[in-house]
Amino acid sequence: MGYGVAVVGATGQVGSLMLRLLREREFPAREVVPFASERSAGRVLEGAAPDGGDLTVQALSEEAIAGFDLALFSAGGSTSGEWAPRFADAGAVVVDNSSRWRMSEEVPLVVAEVNPDALAAHHGIIANPNCSTMQMVVALKPLHAAAGIERLVISTYQAVSGTGRAAVDELLDQSHALLHGRAIEPPQAYAHQIAFNALPHAGSFAAGEDHTDEERKLIDETRKILGDPAIRVSATCVRVPVLTGHSEAVNVQTREPLTPERARELLAAAPGVEVVDDPAGARYPLAIDAAGRDEVLVGRIRRDPGHERALDLWIVADNLRKGAATNAVQIAELLHERGLIGPARERAAV
């Protein structure tokens, strides 16, 4: 027995990791079906099944989506916009990785360690937060509970894998060309060359907007997840030539006083967090150390000399794991543990 699970976007970076995590974490699935675009239909994913067997990629169609209990989506906003409600109407609970449904009032936006109780109110679609927001709120939750967060000033240093597989290829191709003295192809994934560069342009600018959508997500999603619309947030999102692992410098101004020592204790006891904080020994969170791990690493915890109630933190996590696939699978596990998949979700929705 077990659940029928669809993974939409199963050939992508996040989707293929979801398949792996469902298998490694032994999620109780009776079958797992990978979906992707028409381009990939028929492709065989070797060893991707829960029992280690092969799976064949399906294209999305009304007939193919019937009969699932759970659908994990990681195929971009337009696919989620069209197909997540159809899966939900057909009886599945959808956990969606795109930004399409995150700010909808009736859609819970959930980080497993931060606001799992929000799941109970789901109506068939649950949103997985943006990767840079996800890792940050895991670290901020215990500080918010202890001292109340008044204001955040955030600068991100985001890896190219956050943009998708094509951006990873572009960074590698550009680096290779430049190291061999060749000119690069015109950039496709970003407005400028990403190799050996830093772009203050993570996400995109809508017409007339002076913030990127990535910066807006950090502002809006942080308030929704922490359940506190009064938190003031300033964000600058920067793309850097790192393959995997988002790093963030976060200035946290609290309502009540909070010492760096107390913050370190709170963070050391927080679920999903590992404190790495020995600057004299050159030990602090690094993207290359976070890559491949599920924990959020926090270090450089120190008093902001410019404000008596502010601390500075350096927060790093694997954007494909905790920032995306791991949290989606953790949500699936919580839904299972809390009886929120299948008939029980009808009760939760009323």
Ligand X SMILES: NC(=O)c1ccc[n+]([C@@H]2O[C@H](COP(=O)([O-])OP(=O)(O)OC[C@H]3O[C@@H](n4cnc5c(N)ncnc54)[C@H](OP(=O)(O)O)[C@@H]3O)[C@@H](O)[C@H]2O)c1
Asked if 32 contacts 303 with a C-beta cutoff of 8 angstroms, the reply is no
Of 97, 88, 90, nearest in space to 8 by CA: 97
Stretch that binds ligand X, among 63-71, 162-170, 203-211, 330-338 (CB under 6 A): 162-170
Pick between residue 12 and residue 124 the one whose CB is nearest to ligand X. Answer: 12
Stretch that binds ligand X, among 37-45, 115-123, 201-209, 214-222 (CB under 6 A): 37-45
- 122 catalytic, yes or no? no
* Residue 236 touching ligand X (CB under 6 A): no
* Residue 14 touching ligand X (CB under 6 A): yes
Q: Name the token pair of 211.
A: 């913030």
- The contacts of residue 98 (CB under 8 Å, 6+ apart) are 73, 74, 75, 76, 77, 79, 80
Q: Name the token pair of 214.
A: 């990535």
- Give least dist CB 21 to ligand X, A: 13
- Give least dist CB 273 to ligand X, A: 19
* Residue 11 touching ligand X (CB under 6 A): yes
- Give least dist CB 173 to ligand X, A: 16
Distance CA 66, CA 88 (A): 10
* Residue 60 touching ligand X (CB under 6 A): yes
**Hey, what amino acid is at 125?**
I
* Residue 247 touching ligand X (CB under 6 A): no
Pick between residue 266 and residue 332 the one whose CB is nearest to ligand X. Answer: 332
Pick between residue 24 and residue 337 the one whose CB is nearest to ligand X. Answer: 24
| Positions in 164-203 near ligand X (CB under 6 A) | 164-165
- Contact with ligand X (CB under 6 A) among 39, 176, 192, 283: 39
Count interface residues toward ligand X (CB under 6 A): 27
Stretch that binds ligand X, among 4-12, 141-149, 212-220, 254-262 (CB under 6 A): 4-12
Q: Which helix H or strand E contains 253, and what residues bound it?
A: strand 246-254
Length of the chain as a residue count: 350
- 246 catalytic, yes or no? yes
Half-sphere exposure of 335 (CA within 13 A, CB side): 36
* Residue 15 touching ligand X (CB under 6 A): yes
Pick between residue 10 and residue 195 the one whose CB is nearest to ligand X. Answer: 10
Coil, strand, or helix at residue 280?
A: helix
- Give least dist CB 167 to ligand X, A: 8
| Positions in 75-114 near ligand X (CB under 6 A) | 75-76, 79, 97-98
Q: Catalytic: which of 122, 144, 246, 336?
A: 246
CB atoms within 10 A of CB 117: 11
Distance CA 112, CA 154 (A): 22
Of 347, 312, 305, 12, nearest in space to 164 by CA: 12
∠ CA 174-285-255, nearest 5°, is 120
Q: Catalytic: which of 131, 144, 237, 336?
A: 131
Residue 103, phi-psi category: left (phi > 0), alpha (psi -120 to 50), beta (remainder) = alpha
Bridge partners of residue 273, in order along the sequence: 296
* Residue 161 touching ligand X (CB under 6 A): yes
Q: Do the strands 93-96 and 149-158 form a parallel or antiparallel pair, or are they unpaired?
A: unpaired
Positions annotated as catalytic residues are 131, 246
> Interface with ligand X by CB under 6 A: which residues?
9-15, 36-37, 39-40, 60, 74-76, 79, 97-98, 131, 161-162, 164-165, 319-320, 323-324
